[in-house]
Amino acid sequence: MKSYLLIVISVLTGSGLLKADASGKHLFILSGQSNMARFKPELWFTPGINDALGEDNVIVSFYAQGGQPISKWYREWKSSKGETDPDAGKIYGAMMKATKGRIEGEKIGSVTFIWMQGEADSKAKNSDVYLASLNGLKKQLEEDFQRTDINFVIGRLSDSGLYRRRDKKRVENPHWEAIRKAQQTFADSSPKAVWIDTDDLNGEKNELHLIKPDGYSMLGQRYVAAAKKLIIENSN
């Protein structure tokens, strides 16, 4: 599914509250590295999704850690040279433990995974296995939740890595570009996925981290709109 820079306003305001699926509540898992770790869901996501879906219908789980590659989530990660990570899946395990604590005793009607990550894999020059790793992470989540209808919202890597820090001149960064493309390809390949453009959220100097609070606040609005749209479209 294509990107939503600004999701259609009617998705947020037009149809009132969505009821929880007859089989349970809407679960949202937010995870990733530093731009997700700096994100405050209690300010920039949970209020909006509660307004959209109803507070009693929503469970939000958040687990993020800066500077970490996708291997810390994907248990079977392997580089193109056959290298493995001895800590593969470590953050994922902690994320799932926290999530299971939040959903214990609850019936879950939908699961939406919101992802903001990729800088570390560009730095390590592992962009060539990033798409496969995303698909592996998707399969991992499907197996652990025992469902194949999980929605994915990808905050695409910003344009920060395409500018030289000392003078902000545009530069070639093939690994950064490849990860951005992989995130788009992943989202475009499924009606249950969407990627969010973040290029306008990191300020005039194209910083690595988004601008606080406005950049993260706008990101949260885009997450809410995209998540709600996916839930509407995939519940029919």
Query: Which has the higher per-residue pLDDT, 171 or 155?
Result: 155
Query: Which has the higher per-residue pLDDT, 33 or 206?
Result: 33
- DSSP letter string over 142-172? HHHHT-S--EEEEE---SGGGB-TTT--B--
What is the pLDDT at residue 18?
54
Tell me, rounded to whole angstroms, the distance of Cα 110 from its chain centroid: 16
Residues 6+ apart with CB under 8 A from 122: 157, 161, 173, 175, 176, 178, 179
Contact 158, 206 (CB under 8 A): yes
Residue environment code for 186-195, b if the CB has 16+ CB neighbours within 10 A, otherwise e: bbeeeebbbb
What is the pLDDT at residue 48?
98
Domain assignment of residue 67, yes or no: yes
pLDDT over 90 for what percent of the chain? Answer: 82
pLDDT digits (tens, 9 = 90+) for 156-173: 999 998 887 767 788 889
Query: Which has the higher per-residue pLDDT, 129 or 170?
Result: 129
- 204 CB-contact burial (10 Å; exposed 0-12 / middle 13-18 / buried 19+): exposed
Domain assignment of residue 204, yes or no: yes
Residue 133 to residue 130: CA distance in whole angstroms: 5
Domain assignment of residue 2, yes or no: no
What is the pLDDT at residue 230?
97
- Across the chain, what does the average pLDDT equal? 91
Task: Give the CATH number, domain containing residue 101.
Answer: 3.40.50.1110
Domain assignment of residue 127, yes or no: yes
Whether the model clears a pTM of 0.85, i.e. scores above it, the answer is yes
Please give the single-letter amino acid code of residue 185. T
pLDDT at 10 over 50: no
Structurally, the chain folds into a number of domains equal to: 1
- How many residues does the structure list for the chain? 236
pLDDT digits (tens, 9 = 90+) for 42-68: 999 999 999 999 999 999 999 999 999
Domain carrying residue 88: 9-234
Domain assignment of residue 25, yes or no: yes
Query: Which has the higher per-residue pLDDT, 86 or 235?
Result: 86
- Longest alpha-carbon distance in the chain: 55
Domain assignment of residue 1, yes or no: no
Domain assignment of residue 216, yes or no: yes
Domain assignment of residue 98, yes or no: yes
pLDDT digits (tens, 9 = 90+) for 204-229: 888 999 999 999 999 999 999 999 99
pLDDT digits (tens, 9 = 90+) for 167-204: 778 888 999 999 999 999 999 999 999 999 999 999 98
What is the pLDDT at residue 113?
98
Beta bridge partners of 152: 113, 193
